[in-house]
């Protein structure tokens, strides 16, 4: 826990040293919500059958999709980015000589970006509810928190696999960016997966973000139909098993780097 806190404080201080960038991120978030609200007005009255299971309010639907999607990029990318930054600055090998485990160091290195994304998620929902009157309910917040934890676990396993690639090959891995792009296209961030052709929807069900968005919308949106909750929870729980796989890959990558003497190289 001390290692986690030390990394979190370090990265916060670095981010806060660029105060203008730190503050404008939240301004940009607010402006994105304004644009989303205008798009929602355009959709008002369309009576789309695909939105009916979510209460029919497009703005609330897209708001939740955008907010949950905030978690996807840092959960998948932040661990590999932290490892690569430590390699380039020459601190990665030194950190591995401390009492903290390699997994703890990699997890902690990406923690700030994930915490920042979680804060932005909460801000987006609060802004959408208070400022723009989104049809969001607070009746199931505890279950939503469980969903978000499972979402992070599902995506963090992929992030650890990406970090293992960086440790082994000293290069940014080329796969997670494509996976994120496919996830954002197929998981239903801005439109229900039901609008996709049937043959593509098969692939949509294979993405953890699809199940996360479905659960979060069913639990948060007013008048949303609550169906197949158990199936989506089970899917996220199974996807979270990628964490042991990611940790195993990280251990193998470190063993390879030590065996070849490339741990200090970048």
Assess contact for 246 and 161: CB atoms under 8 A: yes
pLDDT for position 53: 87
Band the pLDDT of 198: cuts 50, 70, 90: confident
Task: Kindly tell me if the per-residue pLDDT of 241 is higher than 60.
Answer: yes
Show me where the domains of the chain are located.
Answer: 2-260
Provide the token pair at 201: 């929807």
pLDDT for position 233: 93
Segment 230-248 shows an average pLDDT of: 92
Nearest to 220 by CA among 118, 128, 120: 128
List phi, psi (to 5°) of 167: -60, -45
3-state DSSP of 29-68: HHHHHHHHHHHHHHHCCCCCCCCHHHCCCHHHHHHHHHHH
Task: Kindly tell me if the per-residue pLDDT of 147 is higher than 90.
Answer: yes
The whole model's pTM is what?
0.89
Provide the token pair at 56: 């029919």
């Amino acid at each position: 826990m001390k290692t986690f806190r030390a990394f979190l404080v370090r990265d916060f201080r670095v981010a806060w040293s660029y105060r203008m960038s730190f503050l404008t991120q939240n301004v940009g978030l607010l402006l994105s919500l304004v644009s989303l609200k205008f798009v929602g007005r355009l959709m008002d009255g369309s009576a789309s059958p695909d939105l009916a299971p979510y209460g029919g309010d497009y703005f609330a639907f897209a708001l939740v999709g955008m907010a949950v999607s905030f978690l996807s990029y840092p959960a998948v990318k932040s661990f590999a980015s932290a490892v690569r930054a430590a390699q380039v600055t020459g601190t990665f090998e030194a950190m591995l000589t401390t009492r903290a485990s390699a997994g703890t160091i990699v997890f902690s290195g990406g923690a700030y970006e994930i915490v920042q994304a979680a804060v932005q998620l909460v801000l987006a929902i609060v802004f959408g509810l208070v400022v723009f009157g989104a049809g969001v309910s607070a009746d199931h917040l505890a279950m939503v928190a469980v969903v978000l934890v499972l979402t992070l676990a599902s995506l963090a396993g992929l992030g650890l696999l990406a970090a293992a690639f960086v440790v082994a090959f000293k290069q940014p891995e080329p796969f997670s960016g494509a996976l994120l792009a496919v996830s954002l296209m197929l998981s239903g961030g801005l439109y229900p997966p039901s609008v996709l052709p049937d043959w593509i929807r098969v692939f949509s069900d294979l993405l953890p973000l699809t199940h996360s968005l479905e659960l979060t919308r069913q639990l948060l949106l007013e008048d949303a139909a609550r169906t197949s909750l158990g199936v989506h929870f089970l899917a996220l729980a199974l996807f979270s098993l990628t964490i042991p796989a990611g940790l195993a890959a990280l251990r193998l990558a470190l063993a390879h780097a030590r065996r070849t003497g490339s741990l200090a190289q970048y």
